[in-house]
């Protein structure tokens, strides 16, 4: 019986250790980088919505995920890093507000540039 309990404890310690080591590998993306990534994800969403309105045969879920992967590759991150960071910001309201405000400032800046032309 002791051996079984010992094996269970060892198994869980390795399992939890591998989970925590994965979380240690995933670092929160700084706000200045994250705002650019979020902005590009939003633009990819908008692009995909415009395409899917014209083409009703297009698969709704897989197309935008491919665009997300392209955005993540262009910024040199993985989707796990992005979602880990996004969940972190969601769970920290002040930092999330800073992120959203900075994304909004990018939108206003680009909108003003378009209107000036």
Which pLDDT tens digit goes with each residue over 98-112?
999 999 999 999 888
Domain boundaries defined on the chain: 26-116
Which pLDDT tens digit goes with each residue over 72-96?
999 999 999 999 999 999 999 999 9
Q: How many Cα atoms occupy the beta-carbon half-sphere of 113 within 13 Å? A: 6
| Average pLDDT value for residue range 54-58 | 65
Rounded-to-integer distance, Cα 49 and Cα 64, Å: 9
Residues with Cβ within 8 Å of residue 39, at least 6 apart in sequence: 103, 106, 107
Can you give the pTM of this predicted structure? 0.72
pLDDT at residue 21 tops 90? no
User: How confident is residue 10, by pLDDT bands cut at 50, 70 and 90?
Assistant: very low
């Amino acid at each position: 019986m002791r051996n079984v309990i010992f094996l269970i404890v060892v198994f869980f310690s390795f399992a939890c250790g591998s989970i925590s080591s994965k979380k240690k590998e995933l670092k929160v993306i700084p706000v200045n980088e994250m705002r650019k990534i979020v902005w590009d994800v939003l633009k990819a969403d908008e692009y995909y919505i415009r395409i899917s309105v014209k083409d009703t045969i297009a698969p709704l879920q897989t197309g935008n995920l491919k665009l997300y992967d392209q955005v993540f590759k262009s910024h040199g991150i993985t989707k796990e890093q992005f979602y880990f960071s996004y969940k972190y910001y969601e769970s920290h309201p002040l930092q999330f507000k800073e992120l959203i405000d900075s994304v909004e400032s990018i939108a206003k800046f680009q909108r003003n540039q378009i209107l000036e032309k």
